[in-house]
Amino acid sequence: MSADVEHEPDMVQQLRETLHDMRQPVAITMALAAAALTEPGLPAAARARLDQIVEQAEWLADMIHGCLVAHDQEEPDEIDEPGQDLADIVQIVGEVIAAECLTWPGEVTVTAPPGPVWCMLRPVLLRRAVSNMLDNATRAAGPAGTVTVEIQQRKDSVMLAVEDNGPGFGNIPSHAGLGLSGVARNVVKHGGRMECSSGVRGGARVSLWLP
């Protein structure tokens, strides 16, 4: 235990330096994709993929920036105070689903109000939460499965639920991500809550209530 404590500052510094160095290749990726989008006669399918590359690179850049800024703050929690930013949950869910479906062949259905639905959570944090929820659901459902996403505007909150028709909690392979524990921590920190239950199709249902 003492050895881990002694080396922790070095590990944090190494991680910060790695994040710092990642900014340039991410910026180059965005620049290359943006340049390719200006090519005349670009097929529509190629343009759509390049737009998605830009979106994913921008998301990665936001996460890197957030980590570096939080580390430099004397009081890191100030950067993530509730109400500091707003996110359109309908737009972000749509973008995350489009990216997920590039590598997952199953079926996703979405029920959402027309137009934007705003919640008091920074867009980069909301995107991370939705990505983790959708990743868990698609792995549980399998390549031939179904995932449903539901967005409801409540009186004083927004409800986001992701449900799959997989084998249920505890019956899918684990992976290296932080998963739902990270989602719950960020949501609670910003005044929301998360609930996990069994879905109507026998799989898992994860619901977020966001201010």
**Are 72 and 92 within one domain?**
no
What pLDDT sits at residue 91?
92
Per-residue model confidence as pLDDT tens digits over 10-46: 777 788 778 778 877 887 887 888 888 888 899 999 9
The alpha carbon dihedral of 65, 67, 72, 74 has a sign of positive
Does pLDDT of 175 surpass 70?
A: no
Count how many domains the chain has: 2
CA within 13 Å, CB half, 82: 11
What pLDDT sits at residue 202?
84
Q: Read off the pLDDT band of 9 (50, 70, 90).
A: low
Q: Where is the domain boundary, 79, 104, 138?
A: 79
Can you give the pTM of this predicted structure?
0.68
pLDDT above 70 as % of the chain: 83
Does pLDDT of 106 surpass 80?
A: yes
**Are 182 and 114 within one domain?**
yes
The alpha carbon dihedral of 179, 136, 149, 163 has a sign of negative
For residues 51 and 208, give the distance between their C-alpha atoms in angstroms, rounded to a whole number: 28
**Are 72 and 88 within one domain?**
no
| Average pLDDT across the chain, whole number | 81
**Are 94 and 130 within one domain?**
yes
- As a whole number, mean pLDDT of residues 128-138 equals 89
Does pLDDT of 177 surpass 50?
A: no
Does pLDDT of 107 surpass 90?
A: yes
Per-residue model confidence as pLDDT tens digits over 61-84: 877 877 777 656 544 443 344 445
Q: Which residue has the higher pLDDT, 151 or 82?
A: 151
Q: Where is the domain boundary, 50, 79, 108?
A: 79
